[in-house]
């Protein structure tokens, strides 16, 4: 599959994921898209513009409220898991 078609497919998956009830799925989809942009050498600004397009498309496609707020919380959680800034305590 040509790279452009692959990116277009990922973008559509991101939009659909953000429209679902599971905002974490949308955040993970955006994270995967960011990874693909980075691997291909595309600029951060290009990804941010695409991210804005995806979020606005999801808002227009669904009646899901608070997409931005839910996405911020989900992305924060993913970032904390990735950087290890979350301390997980277990009881013994």
Q: What is the DSSP string of the chain?
A: --HHHHHHHHHHHHHHHHHSS-HHHHHHHHHHHHHHHHHHT--HHHHHHHHHHHHHHHHHH-----HHHHHHHHHHHHHHHHHT-SPPP---
What is the pLDDT at residue 92? 45
Q: Is residue 86 part of a domain?
A: no
**What global pTM score does this model have?**
0.75
- Domains of the chain: total: 1
Q: Is residue 32 part of a domain?
A: yes
The 10s digit of each residue's pLDDT in 4-17 is 899 999 999 999 98
The 10s digit of each residue's pLDDT in 61-77 is 887 667 888 788 888 88
Q: Is residue 92 part of a domain?
A: no
């Amino acid at each position: 599959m040509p790279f452009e078609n692959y990116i277009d497919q990922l973008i559509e998956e991101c939009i659909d994921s953000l429209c679902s009830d599971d905002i974490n799925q949308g955040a993970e989809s955006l994270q995967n898209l960011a990874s693909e942009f980075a691997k291909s050498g595309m600029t951060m600004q290009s990804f941010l513009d695409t991210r804005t397009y995806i979020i606005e498309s999801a808002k227009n496609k669904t009646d899901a409220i608070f997409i931005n707020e839910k996405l911020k919380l989900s992305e924060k959680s993913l970032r904390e898991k990735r950087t290890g800034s979350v301390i997980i305590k277990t009881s013994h």
